Amino acid sequence: MRRRSREARRSAFMLAGGALLSLIILGAWFPANALFHQRSNLATANASLSELHQQDAALAQARKDLSSSAEIARIAREQYQLVNPGQQAYEVLPPTRASKAGTTYAGDPALKGPVAPSSASVLPPGSDSGTAQSASTGRTGIAHGTPPPQPAAQPRGFVGRVLSSLEFWR
């Protein structure tokens, strides 16, 4: 009787050990975690693909719009201040606030200094900082009368330097 109970315990122990070993082998050869990650990667790729399809449709519509001469003329007038032959372009400045006859207009871009090279984001595309032509004024050396952006404060300490160097990850 004792021998039988000992064999029963030994059989139960072997069965439990075999089941545990089977689970370990199954976990090693069948990585369910990798399947879950692949599923999330697939969902991300599908979302990116649908966004790209939307952008493609918008670009196709823009290409279709740019094929018409009326749209080309509108963009030439708005962005480049071009006019048809025989026409003249005028720029209407906003009225001054209770200004006197002898005072200058406070929003006059000529009162501001030249544009700093660090404010390249304010300049129109395709221009350099020395001869930037403002889209609204047509004058050179002035970028819409906006002040140049202030440089960001330098981070202090080791962690701040590491975070600022990894800023491109954002």
pLDDT above 60: residue 45 = yes
49 phi/psi in degrees, rounded to 5: -65, -40
Provide the token pair at 54: 């939307």
Measured CA to CA, the distance from residue 50 to residue 132 in angstroms comes to 38
Percent of the chain with pLDDT over 90: 23
Instruction: Please give the average per-residue pLDDT across 83-112, as a whole number.
Output: 71
Provide the token pair at 99: 């200004």
Nearest to 129 by CA among 144, 145, 118, 113: 118
User: Is 133 strand, coil or helix?
Assistant: strand
Instruction: Please give the average per-residue pLDDT across 51-68, as a whole number.
Output: 95
Among 63-67, 80-84, 146-150, name the most confident range.
63-67
pLDDT above 50: residue 139 = no
Model-wide pTM > 0.85: no
Cβ 124 vs Cβ 133: under 8 Å: yes
User: Is 140 strand, coil or helix?
Assistant: strand
Task: Please tell me which residue, 151 or 77, carries the higher pLDDT value.
Answer: 77
DSSP string, 4-15: HHHHHHHHHHHH
Instruction: Please give the average per-residue pLDDT across 62-73, as a whole number.
Output: 91
pLDDT above 50: residue 38 = yes
26-30 long-range Cβ contacts below 8 angstroms, 24+ apart: none
